[in-house]
Amino acid sequence: MTALLVVPGGLTAGPAYAATCGAATPTDPTFPLTTRIHGAPAAYEAGGAHRTWRLDLTNNTTRPCTDIHPVLVLVDERRVLTAGQARLEFYDGKRARPYPVRFEVTDADETIGVFDGDGFPGFTVGPGRTLSVKVRLAIRAGAVANDVVANAAVVQRHADDGDWVGQSNDYRFRVVAPGPAEAETTVPGVQSASPYDGELAGTGRRAAGIRLAGIALALLLTGGGVLLLARVRGAGRT
């Protein structure tokens, strides 16, 4: 199985479109961008304020990685989280106000938000450099108590196509009912059950990574934001 896919309209993304900073392939699973979620809370109170954490993008190559768009994938245990209940925004370090992220729900009940829109041109990460992106997430009132796993796939955009250039550790958190206690806990450092950071390791993780790549690469991005978010049906399913 490869990361090559066809999206509506006949466009393709994957090996045919080489990224300027390199891309993971079935024969070389090393990502050009090591991606890490850290400093994130262990719980979010439904209806509570935004909580802040960081998404680090480290360029392992000797070339700049441009037009980088992280894709945050939320998978909740009860499959009841709606697109309208997740509120996400991020900063690019260039303007004072954050960029909002609009979520969509896939046919597998994954809630996906693309760092795009509102004129955002994508991140640029210099060779050998780390870009630490400030991210704020909140869960709206009405969301039920639930366990959620967040994972960031990273896409390098090429006009209407893209390459899979990074994948983060898993970030696990709980949605809790309003109250004073649990939402104050913060997960120090990296919270992950994954044996790797920036590479595919193990057949189970590789299958999950390929499925996630299918989700991330099936993006038709336009200057006005996300025109279409389509899941690769059947890719990596068990």
pLDDT tens digits along 110-124: 888 889 878 898 999
Going by the DSSP 8-state scheme, the letter that residue 98 receives in this structure is: P
Q: What pTM value is reported for the model?
A: 0.76
Token pair belonging to 78: 């009860």
Give the model's confidence band at 217: pLDDT under 50 very low, under 70 low, under 90 confident, else very high.
low
- The half-sphere exposure of 7 on its side-chain side, counting CA atoms within 13 A, is 21
Q: Which residues contact 114 (CB under 8 A, 6 or more apart)?
A: 69, 70, 71, 101, 102, 219, 221, 226, 229
Token pair belonging to 198: 């920036």
Give the model's confidence band at 186: pLDDT under 50 very low, under 70 low, under 90 confident, else very high.
low
Position 199 scores a pLDDT of 42
C-alpha to C-alpha distance for 68 and 77, rounded to whole angstroms? 29
Considering only CA atoms, which of 32, 69, 25 is closest in space to residue 161?
69
Position 23 scores a pLDDT of 74
Position 198 scores a pLDDT of 42
| Secondary element (H or E) of residue 100 | strand 99-101
C-alpha to C-alpha distance for 101 and 114, rounded to whole angstroms? 6
In terms of residues, how long is the chain? 238
Residue 233 has pLDDT above 70, yes or no: no
Bridge partners (DSSP) of residue 11 are: 7
Q: How far is CA 135 from CA 57, 85, 128, in A?
A: 13, 16, 22
Give the model's confidence band at 125: pLDDT under 50 very low, under 70 low, under 90 confident, else very high.
very high
C-alpha to C-alpha distance for 206 and 210, rounded to whole angstroms? 6
What's the per-residue H, E or C state across 142-209?
Answer: CCCCEEEEEEEEEEEEECCEEEEEEECCCEEEEEECCCCCHHHCECCCECCCCCCCCCCCCHHHHHHH
pLDDT tens-digit readout, 89-108: 999 999 999 999 988 887 77
Give the model's confidence band at 53: pLDDT under 50 very low, under 70 low, under 90 confident, else very high.
very high
Helix (H, G, I), strand (E, B) or coil at 224: coil
Phi-psi region of 130 (alpha: psi -120 to 50; beta: other; left: phi over 0): beta
